[in-house]
Amino acid sequence: MVKCIQEFYRCASEFAVAKPPTVTVPDDTASALQAAIPNLELRREGSSRSLTLGCCEELIESLLHERYVSNHLTTNSFALFIANAYYLIRPLLTVPLRRGLQRFFLRGWRELPFPKWPVDRTVDQLRELVLLSLMKERRIDRIPFIWFWPEVTIRVRS
Query: What pTM value is reported for the model?
Result: 0.62
Residues 21-35 have a mean pLDDT of 77
Q: State the Cα–Cα distance between residues 120 and 2, nearest whole angstrom.
A: 23
pLDDT at 92: 94
pLDDT at 1: 45
Kindly state the average pLDDT of the residues 132-136: 81
Q: In the chain, what are the domain boundaries?
A: 1-68+120-150, 70-113
How large is the average pLDDT for residues 63-83?
71
Q: What is the pLDDT of residues 80-123, one digit of tens each?
A: 888 889 999 999 999 999 999 889 888 877 776 677 777 788 88
The SS3 of residue 43 is strand
Q: What is the pLDDT of residue 94?
A: 94
Q: Give the mean pLDDT of the chain.
A: 76
Which range has the worst mean pLDDT, 66-70, 94-98, 102-106, 134-138? 66-70
67, with CB counted inside 10 A (0-12, 13-18, 19+), is middle
> 49 or 15: which carries more pLDDT confidence?
49
d(CA 17, CA 138): 8
Q: List pLDDT tens digits, range 6-22.
A: 777 776 666 666 566 67
- As a whole number, mean pLDDT of residues 28-46 equals 74
pLDDT of residue 141: 84
All residues at 6 or more sequence positions from 129 whose CB lies less than 8 Å from its CB, including other chains: 23, 24, 25, 29, 56
Q: Is the pLDDT of residue 73 over 70?
A: no
